[in-house]
Amino acid sequence: MTLTYQIPPNNGLSQPQPNGLQGPFPQQAPAFSPQQPMTGDKRKASAAGMSSPADFEENARVAAEEDKRRRNTAASARFRVKKKQREAELEKRAKEMTDKVQQLEGRVQQLETENKWLKGLITERGSGESTADKGSEGRKEAEERSTEQRTEGVGTEQAASEQATVDVQG
C-alpha cells in the first residue's frame, strides 16, 4: 500500500518544502476522494466484461464476509434483548426480596413485642410463686378450659341456628 500526500495550493502564506510535505506532518489523502478514482476501480471497470476465477473467489469472499457481519449483527441484537430481559428479571427478584425482607422484619418486630408482653405476664404472675407452682397451675387452668361445655361461638349449635336464621332472612 502506498501513501499519497496531497499538496495544498500555495496561498502565499507558506512555501512548500522540497519533499512535498506541508508543515511538520504529512497529510494523508482520504480513503475515497471523488476526483481521484482508485486504481482498483479502474481495473474492475475495465475487466467487468471478463470474469475470471479470481473475481468469483473475491466475490464469494466478500459475500461471506457480509453474511458473517449480518449474522454477527443479528446475534448481537439477540444478546442485547436477552441481557435486558435478564436485567429486568433480576430487578424484579431484587424488589420481591426487598419486599419480603420488609415483611419479615415487621413480623420479627411483632414477635418481639409479643415476647416482651408474655415475659411481662410471666414476671407479674410469678412474683412470689415458684416455677413448679406456675406449671401445675397452668395445667389446671387448661384442663378446666378444655372440659367446660361451650354453648356460644363458632362450631356450636347456637352459632349454627343463628346462621340459619340469617340465611332465611337474607
Reported as type and span, the H/E element at residue 61 is helix 53-125
- Please give the torsion angle defined by the CA atoms of residues 92, 95, 96 and 99, in that order, rounded to the nearest 10 degrees: -160
- Please tell me the predicted confidence (pLDDT) of residue 125: 86
DSSP letter, residue 148? S
What confidence score (pLDDT) does residue 54 get? Answer: 84
pLDDT tens by residue, 78-93: 999 999 999 999 999 9
pTM, to two decimals:
0.36
Low-confidence ranges of the chain (pLDDT < 70): 1-51, 128-170
pLDDT for res 103: 98
